[in-house]
Each structure stands twice: as structure tokens, then as C-alpha cells.
Amino acid sequence: MRTPTDAVETDWAPLSGLRGQAESRLGPLLDDAIALLRVESPSSDLAAVATSADAVAALLEERLGAAPERIVVDGVSHLRLCFGGPTKVLILAHHDTVWPHGTLSSLPARVSDGVLRGPGSVDMKTGIAMAVHALRILRDQGRSLDGVTVLVTGDEEVGSTASRALIEETAAGAAAVLVLEAGGDDGQLKTERKGVSMYRITAHGLASHAGLAPDAGVNAVVGLADVVLKLAALHGTEPGLTVVPTVIQGGTTTNTVPAEGWVDVDVRATTSASQLRCDAAIRALTAEVPGVVLDVDGGVNREPLEAAASAELFARARRLAAAHGLGVVEPLAVGGGSDGNFTAALGVPTLDGLGAWGGGAHADGEHAVVAGLAPRMALLAALIDEVLSEGRTP
């Protein structure tokens, strides 16, 4: 569904007074962010995610005068708002969080001591509100939003299984993807993200009575222990490669030789080549315990967002920040993945970390620095406007 803009321009001139306009919107921005934070949306609760989508949709309609399309995939609620013709700038966000119900009682949504707190304050509901107000600044200046698409997904924190195809479909052919994940703790933009692979390795053995016939069984847990050590040995074998066994389980009762055990594994890699080499090594693992058979499920979830995918947009961001008096922006490479990894893998220029910044994502200290919101909102508006301006007459 596409929404026509209320202004169509053929001429373009650089924005002026952008920082002041962003600062004038700081109060409404905080109000909107707090309203979103107060709607708890743990990824695992599809009804809660649907309610959160209602809140985001209401904000988009109230501030921008356009109702987004609701797209439900496997029960997960996503929102897409398209202005005008084919997507030129994709603003990419998510509204689900890692926080369980009841978190607001211990981490209430509020501003205190110069920071905004609450579940999702930095990861990443504040970023959604920032994007809405950045677009409002452009619209209030008479800019056409033709070519802008806002996509807010509902399952990023659990791997984006239900949204990946939607993200890739929407991003295909865009000139730029601007990702509203949190910036670095000091406001850096995220120009590199490691690729993410996720595995479950299951060891199959043979059950037997642990007291009466221990040698008649094949101990899957012992076989799995050997595999875990082999996994740990892969860690750090290439620059930036991390291989971390995370969750392990095996056996049924204390007097039974375990017939099965499994381990979950988190892998991060800085390059696609490194990621694929590690994938091959994991699939080639064998257990030293005779009779233990391994099954490897999972694989590459997100390819790396490499520096080349963000270089041109980062250079623009740095130049625009200087031109509008928004401070110096620095690049940052991080180990965590985001939906920006998907769009970068398509070959679409992608810049991440354009949302709020502060710290404590996924932790009790989660917060966004209020002083950073207006400058980042202004930078987002400037980036959107400049990409849209290409092809117009200055």
C-alpha cells in the first residue's frame, strides 16, 4: 500500500536550521517514545507484539497522517508505510523487545538525570519515534517524502524468521537502508556488524540402565562433551571469529545412560568467507565416543555487514553532521547482528546505528541519552533528504 505525499517537488535546496527544528521537537519525541515503551512487547508473546504494532501504527498515523499496512506473517505483526513510488530510502526498525511482561515495574519508562529509561529505550523503540519526527520535520519543510518506506518488524530479537523475506523484498532496489538500531555508547554509527550463525548439534546414543548395564548403552552426553570442546577450539581461529556453546541439555533420568543430548552454538564472523569456513568445520565434526551420531541443524542466519556496504552512507553522514553542526560522528564495528545484515547482503547500501544511543541494551541499565536525540534525529532527516534529492535540480 502506498500513500501519496502532500507535496511534490522537482527542485531541491539543502535544509537549513535543522538542529533547531529537531531540538524544538524533543518534547513531543520523548512523549511518543515513552508511550511506545509503556506497551510491553516481548517477542515470544504474539498478542503483545500485535498490541505494540497498534501503538506504532497510531503514532505513524497521528504524526504523519498516513496509516501503515499491517502485515502478519506466522502470527507476527509487522508494519510498512510507503510514501509514493518505488522505495528509494528504507527506514528499518523493529518494535519487539527482549523484555518479559512486568519489566515496567522495575524499569519504568521515564526521563531522569538526562537519560530515558525503559524496556526498549535504546533497543529500539526510541529510534522509531525519532524516525517519525525526522520525517515530520521534512514534511513540515515542504519536502516530498516520495520514495520513503518505513518498515517496522516484530521479531528481530528472535532472528527475524517471520520478517526476513519482507525485509529483503522491501529493500530490493533501494538506494539506501537506514537502520534505527542503537548507536554506539558514545553515539558512533555502526558501519560493520559480524555475521551470525546459529546451530543446534544433537548427539544420538543408546539408552541403557546406568547401574545394571552401563556398558550396553552409548552415552550421548559423553559424546556431546567431546564435541563441545571441539567447538570451543574453533573460537578465535580466525580474526574476529567467535564460537560459543551457549545452552546444553542431555539425558532423562539419573539412572539411565543418556540416549540424546544437544548443545546450541552462537557463531559470529567478520567476513562471509570466514563464516562459511566455520560452517563447514562445524558440519564436519564427529564424536569420539563410538556409536554416537551427530545431527547439525541451523546455519548462517545473517551474513556480515561489511564496511564496504556502509562506507558511502557513512561518509555522507559525517559530512552532513559537520554541515549542520551536529558534532563529529565516528564509525564502530560490533559483534551483534541486525536486520541491516540482510539488506547489506543484497548489495543495498546500509548504515546502522542511526537510532538513539546510550547503553545497557538487554540489561537492567538500558537507557538512551536525551542530549543525543535531537542531533541524531536531525542527522537522520538530513540523510533521508539528501538521498531523496538525487536527481532533483539544486
- What's at 201, amino acid-wise? I
Contact 296, 263 (CB under 8 A): no
Domain ranges of the chain: 2-192+305-389, 195-302
- Per residue in 303-326, pLDDT (tens digit) is 999 999 999 999 999 999 999 999
C-alpha–C-alpha distance, residues 218 and 205, integer Å: 5
- Per residue in 213-263, pLDDT (tens digit) is 999 999 999 999 999 999 999 999 999 999 999 999 999 999 999 999 999
- Three-state SS at 207: coil
Q: Where on the phi/psi map is residue 187: left (φ > 0), alpha (ψ -120 to 50), or beta?
A: left
Answer whether the bond into residue 198 is a cis peptide, omega within 30°. Answer: no
Contact 204, 220 (CB under 8 A): yes
Confidence tier at 4 by pLDDT (50, 70, 90): very low
110-112 and 115-117 beta bridge pairing:
antiparallel
Q: Which long-range contacts (CB under 8 A, 24 or more apart) does 138-143 make?
A: 138/15, 138/381, 138/384, 138/385, 139/5, 139/6, 139/7, 139/64, 140/21, 141/15, 141/21, 142/7, 142/9, 143/7, 143/9, 143/385, 143/388
CATH of domain 195-302: 3.30.70.360
- Helix/strand/coil (H, E, C) string of 171-182? HCCCCEEEECCC
Whether pLDDT at 129 is above 90: yes
Which cell numbers in the block locate residue 392? 532533483
| Fold held by 2-192+305-389 | Aminopeptidase (3.40.630)
Q: Distance between the two ends of the chain, CA-based, in angstroms?
A: 30
φ, ψ at 37 (rounded to 5°): -65, -30
Share of the chain above pLDDT 70, in %: 96
Whether pLDDT at 13 is above 90: no
